[in-house]
Amino acid sequence: MKSIINNIIVRLTGKPRILFLVDSVGALLTTLSLFVVLRTFYELFGLPVSVLTYLSFISAAFCLYSAACFLFLKGNWVPFIWVIGIANSLYCVLTLGLVLVYFPQLTAFGVAYFLGEIMIVAVLVYIEFLVAMAIMKTRTSKNL
């Protein structure tokens, strides 16, 4: 597993633009999932519609940010990768907090969905931070 992550880091360090594409597509899938599927079948998941709506707006904002970075950034990737990495980290914390607060009314599907989402986003955050650090290290070694 570690070698797979290392290969991903090496590839994304050379093409950090792809990282924003992956993040944007993931955020789009989350937005559609929250706003369309989970809101429609909220009884199956147990989280109130208003909470699902707010979470979908947050993920839509992340989608737009990452898409804009993918489309318009030409260099200086690191600060923008840090921003989305921190934002995704905060999203995980928020989601976990909501799972804890609403746990009594969440169904097994709801718990599974949100914990799965947290795990996927946490892996993405880990990769984003490693890519940002690898780019900085590459830049530093080139300047020596």
Count CB atoms within 10 A of the CB of residue 74.
Answer: 6
Contacts 24+ apart (CB under 8 A), 40-47: 44/107, 44/109, 44/110, 45/106, 45/107, 45/109, 45/110, 45/113, 46/102, 46/105, 46/106, 46/107, 46/109, 46/110, 47/98, 47/102, 47/105, 47/106, 47/110, 47/114
For residue 22, the surrounding DSSP H or E stretch is helix 16-32
Instruction: Give which of 44, 40, 19, 33 is closest to 95, Cα–Cα.
Output: 33
Task: Say how many C-beta atoms besides its own lie within 10 A of residue 99's C-beta.
Answer: 18
61 confidence band (pLDDT: 50, 70, 90): very high
Q: Looking at residues 31-57, what average pLDDT do you find?
A: 96
| Domains in the chain: boundaries | 2-138
Q: How confident is the model at residue 50 (pLDDT cuts 50, 70, 90)?
A: very high
Q: What is the mean pLDDT of the chain?
A: 94
Tell me, what's the pLDDT at 3?
Answer: 84
Q: What is the mean pLDDT of residues 31-54?
A: 96
Assessment of whether the complete model's pTM goes beyond 0.95:
no
pLDDT value, residue 144: 56
Please state, for a pLDDT cut of 70, what percent of the chain lies above it: 97
- Whole-number pLDDT of residue 4: 86
Q: How far apart are CA 36 and CA 33, in angstroms?
A: 6
Alpha-carbon gap, residue 85 to 104, rounded angstroms: 30
pLDDT digits (tens, 9 = 90+) for 108-123: 999 999 999 999 999 9
- Residue 82: other Cβ atoms inside 10 A: 15
